[in-house]
């Protein structure tokens, strides 16, 4: 087969691969417990169904403008103003087929071959490969002293003349940690001073527990949106439990947004019209759905923390948001792939190896599924390890 060097060099998405493994085992009737998942189990908001239903009834499901429908952009602008304190115009928004495509649009729009993109570990599994897909070089900054949050000064120290962007995901997949205000403020200052883009992957931004809020980068910006290096990525996959609809978006300066629209126009024309209608319905219905989802996840977080505390040698920083825990299992087995394989084989529990997120010795265990699965899954792990 005559494949490109790029295609040959790309790794598979570890999380998607494990989803497949779990689904296949379930289909074979095996008693597998999937703690590797990345989507809430709640039904989607009523408003989303109604809105896409109207379009189906009308029988017109056509291309939309590349950057998204006016109706959805209006909801996104209102949502961004409410939760981020900045009001984007329609020329600051690109609706994409998932936050993932929005991130890809951004990377392709700013990276020249060999440019660098910095992000802290642990990071979302897709970042390194997505940067490589755009012919860039990922630069990873690890936390110190067994913590899960890198220092802003360490990130700053990695900036070179080739640095195009810093990526920050807070609250963070996999760690569940929220980067504090001082950290975000410092990154905004550095990016504005040095002319480096700051991509905020805000996809879990409203799934934060115990009354805490994830700081918005826009709050610390000294520049108007059209001169700002900040790009905020968001979507309906996680907060509205609409992973299958594939709707995400970016909010950025007009100049950058126009470049991203060109990229998307050539790659996918536009996101699905039906899904855009559904996303507008979800955003309009808004608050109460997300509040209920977050409160439910907080309870499951507490169950996961309590269950993990029963393992003698696990170290855990309590997750502050998302639906992931990222515990240190290195006292049992430092090689996280080996440990994940062992748990699958001996306990029929799917857990994602920490190395896939750039931090060895950890396992990512999700608590977006049923409470009984969290309890049973962790108890099976305990039986094997303790
Ligand atoms: C940190 C992070 N960013 C982006 C995404 C992509 O979301 P979407 O489903 O909107 O493409 C995910 C999904 O797992 C994620 O965890």
Backbone angles phi, psi at 59, to 5 degrees: 80, 10
Q: How far apart are CA 55 and CA 328, in angstroms?
A: 48
Same domain flag for 251 and 365? no
pLDDT on residue 24:
86
- The structural domain count of the chain equals 2
Asked whether residue 288 carries a pLDDT value surpassing 80, the answer given is yes
pLDDT on residue 17:
80
Domain boundary among 285, 303, 335: 285
Confirm if 163 and 139 have CB atoms less than 8 A apart.
yes
pLDDT digits (tens, 9 = 90+) for 252-287: 999 999 999 999 999 999 999 999 999 999 999 877
For 324-368, strand residue ranges (E) read 324-328, 349-350, 352-353, 362-366
Minimum-distance ligand 1 atom for the alpha carbon of 248: 10
Percent of the chain with pLDDT over 70: 100
pLDDT on residue 16:
78
Domain boundary among 258, 285, 312: 285
pLDDT digits (tens, 9 = 90+) for 194-213: 999 999 999 999 999 999 99
Asked whether residue 19 carries a pLDDT value surpassing 90, the answer given is no
pLDDT on residue 164:
98
CATH number of the CATH domain containing 56: 3.40.640.10
pLDDT digits (tens, 9 = 90+) for 130-174: 999 999 999 999 999 889 999 999 999 999 999 999 999 999 999
Q: Residue 249, Cα to own-chain centre: how many angstroms?
A: 12
Structural Rg of the chain based on CA atoms: 20
Q: Is the pTM of this model over 0.85?
A: yes
> Residue 120's beta-bridge partner residues?
141
Same domain flag for 274 and 294? no
Q: Which domain holds residue 57?
A: 46-285
Nearest CA to ligand 1 atom 14: 38
Average pLDDT of the chain to the nearest whole number: 95
List the structure tokens of 99: 């936050």
pLDDT on residue 21:
81
**In the structure, which protein residues have their CB atom closer than 6 angstroms to any atom of ligand 1?**
38, 98-100, 124, 169, 173, 201, 203, 235, 237, 243, 248
Q: For residue 184, how far is its CA from the centre of ligand 1 (angstroms)?
A: 20
Domain boundary among 264, 285, 306: 285
Task: Determine the 3-state secondary structure of 104 from DSSP.
Answer: helix
Same domain flag for 70 and 40? no
Q: For residue 136, how far is its CA from the centre of ligand 1 (angstroms)?
A: 20
Confirm if 48 and 240 have CB atoms less than 8 A apart.
yes
CATH number of the CATH domain containing 324: 3.90.1150.10
Which residues contact residue 60 at a Cβ distance below 8 angstroms, ignoring those fewer than 6 apart?
none
């Amino acid at each position: 087969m005559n494949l490109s060097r790029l295609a040959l060099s790309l790794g598979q998405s570890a999380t998607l691969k494990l989803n497949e493994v779990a689904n296949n085992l379930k289909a074979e009737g095996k008693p597998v417990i999937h703690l590797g998942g990345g989507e809430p189990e709640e039904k989607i908001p009523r408003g989303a169904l109604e809105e896409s239903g109207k379009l189906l009834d009308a029988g017109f499901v056509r291309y939309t403008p590349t950057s998204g429908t006016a109706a959805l952009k209006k909801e996104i602008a209102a949502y961004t103003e409410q939760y981020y304190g900045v009001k984007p115009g329609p020329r600051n928004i690109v609706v994409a087929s998932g936050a993932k495509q929005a991130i890809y649009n951004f990377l392709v729009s700013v990276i020249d071959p060999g440019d660098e993109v910095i992000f802290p570990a642990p990071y979302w599994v897709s970042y390194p490969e997505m940067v490589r897909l755009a012919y860039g070089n990922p630069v990873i900054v690890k936390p110190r002293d067994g913590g899960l949050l890198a220092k802003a000064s360490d990130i700053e120290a990695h900036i070179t003349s080739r640095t195009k962007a810093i990526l920050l995901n807070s609250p963070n997949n996999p760690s569940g940690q929220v980067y504090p205000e001082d950290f975000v403020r410092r990154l905004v200052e550095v990016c504005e001073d040095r002319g480096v883009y700051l991509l905020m992957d805000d996809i879990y931004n409203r799934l934060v527990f115990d009354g805490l809020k994830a700081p918005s980068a826009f709050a610390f910006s000294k520049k108007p949106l059209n001169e700002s290096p900040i790009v905020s990525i968001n979507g309906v996959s996680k907060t509205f439990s609409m992973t299958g609809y594939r709707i995400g978006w970016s909010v950025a300066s007009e100049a950058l947004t126009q470049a991203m629209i060109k990229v998307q126009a050539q790659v996918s024309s536009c996101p699905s019209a039906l899904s855009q209608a559904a996303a507008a319905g979800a955003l309009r219905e808004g608050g109460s759905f997300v509040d209920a989802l977050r409160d439910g996840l907080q309870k499951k977080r507490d169950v996961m923390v309590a269950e993990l505390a029963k393992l003698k040698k696990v170290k855990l920083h309590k997750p502050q948001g998302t639906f992931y825990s990222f515990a240190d299992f290195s006292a049992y087995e430092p090689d996280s792939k080996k440990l994940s394989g062992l748990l699958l084989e001996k306990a029929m529990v799917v857990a994602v190896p920490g190395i896939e997120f750039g931090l060895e010795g950890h396992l990512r265990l999700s608590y977006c599924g049923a409470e009984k699965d969290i309890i049973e899954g962790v108890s099976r792990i305990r039986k094997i390890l303790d």
